């Protein structure tokens, strides 16, 4: 009787574990998606994605840099603002400068921005050669964006704005997959071949059971699927922040004061 009871108990345990494993199995990749863009305003669109089985949540903004009246701004704008005590959140920046879209950008330490920061031609932080960067120049068609694999003194001349990031993840439509496949909150930017369309990607990852984030390669694949030829990762993790019309799009609050932020608005 005792043996029969133990055998039945063991069988029940096996069945329970089998069913439990089957019901909690997670995908190793987020599902393929079709980008269904919603207009935020003329020349700016958004797309929000959620996959509960992976799980992952991410947000994308597409910006036509040739849109008439489109302006770019950033913080800090002066050396006086470029101090630890003057730092603000991206949400505060978005509200203060009334941007349609605002994001955090360059990594930073306690004392300084770790990477290039150029605002309206004024150099507020020097290049860090091992990291990538995104730069913007104005011409007769509007704005044009450029992504650089490394930061050099070239970024200090000929560009109205330049912001450092971490690493390039997409180059000439080729995914760079030399990074560890670690999932986390991510902040990135990608551009089309002509530099006239900018894509901003914010991946949630601070509450892993709701969204565990993505790896660099997975972010690169999203940029590639959207038509980008080049993309880089900006400061992610707890710094990840994307605001549209002054409000964060993330599903959790983000309170970190950033080393810098940049954004777009229209006159």
Work out the mean pLDDT of the chain and round it to a whole number. 91
* Confidence at 8, pLDDT banded by 50, 70, 90: very low
pLDDT digits (tens, 9 = 90+) for 212-266: 999 999 999 999 999 999 999 999 999 999 999 999 999 999 999 999 999 999 9
Short-list 65, 42, 61, CA closest to 196: 65
pLDDT digits (tens, 9 = 90+) for 128-179: 999 999 999 999 999 999 999 999 999 998 999 999 999 999 999 999 999 9
Compare 2 and 238 and report the one with higher pLDDT. Answer: 238
The pair phi, psi for residue 160, each rounded to 5°, is -75, -40
Angle ∠(92,97,102) on CA atoms, nearest 5: 65
- The residues that bridge with 134 in the sheet, in sequence order, are 147, 163
The pair phi, psi for residue 144, each rounded to 5°, is -135, 135
Q: Is the pLDDT of residue 18 over 70?
A: no
Q: Which of 30-34, 206-210, 230-234 has the lowest mean pLDDT?
A: 30-34
Residues 6+ apart with CB under 8 A from 141: 66, 196
Cα dihedral 175, 172, 108, 128 sign: positive
Over its C-alpha atoms, the chain yields an Rg (Å, rounded) of 21
Measured between alpha carbons, how far is 42 from 209 in angstroms, rounded to an integer? 36
As a whole-number percent, the residues of the chain with pLDDT over 70 amount to: 90
Angle ∠(89,36,189) on CA atoms, nearest 5: 40
Q: Is the pLDDT of residue 17 over 80?
A: no
Q: How far is CA 109 from CA 90, 160, 172, 216, in A?
A: 17, 24, 31, 22
Q: How far is CA 104 from CA 80, 90, 139, 238, in A?
A: 19, 6, 25, 11
Measured between alpha carbons, how far is 91 from 243 in angstroms, rounded to an integer? 6
Short-list 133, 212, 226, 230, CA closest to 176: 230
pLDDT of the residue at 32? 73
Q: What is the dihedral of CA 103, 238, 108, 182, to 10 degrees?
A: -100
CB 93 within 8 A of CB 115: no
Note the pTM of the prediction, 2 decimals.
Answer: 0.89
């Amino acid at each position: 009787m005792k043996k029969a009871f133990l055998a039945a108990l063991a069988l029940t345990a096996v069945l329970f574990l089998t069913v439990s494993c089957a019901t909690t199995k997670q995908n190793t990749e987020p599902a393929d998606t079709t980008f269904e863009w919603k207009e935020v305003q003329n020349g700016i669109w958004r797309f929000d994605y959620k996959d509960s089985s992976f799980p992952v949540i991410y947000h994308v903004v597409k910006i036509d840099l040739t849109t008439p009246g489109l302006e770019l701004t950033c913080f800090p704008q002066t050396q006086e603002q470029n101090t630890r005590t003057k730092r603000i959140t991206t949400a505060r920046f978005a509200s203060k400068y009334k941007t349609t879209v605002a994001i955090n950008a360059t990594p930073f330490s306690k004392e300084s921005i770790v990477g290039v920061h150029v605002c309206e031609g004024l150099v507020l932080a020097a290049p860090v050669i091992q990291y990538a960067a995104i730069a913007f120049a104005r011409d007769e068609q509007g704005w044009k964006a450029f992504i650089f694999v490394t930061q050099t003194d070239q970024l200090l001349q000929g560009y109205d704005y330049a912001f450092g990031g971490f690493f390039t993840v997409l180059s000439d439509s080729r995914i760079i997959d030399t990074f560890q496949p670690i999932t986390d909150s991510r902040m990135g930017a990608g551009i089309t071949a002509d530099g006239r369309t900018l894509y901003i990607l914010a991946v949630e990852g601070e509450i892993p059971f709701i969204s565990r984030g993505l790896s660099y390669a997975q972010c690169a694949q999203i940029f590639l699927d959207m038509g980008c030829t080049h993309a880089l990762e900006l400061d992610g993790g707890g710094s990840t922040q994307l605001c549209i019309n002054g409000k964060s799009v993330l599903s959790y609050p983000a309170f970190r004061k950033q080393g810098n932020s940049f954004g777009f608005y229209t006159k």
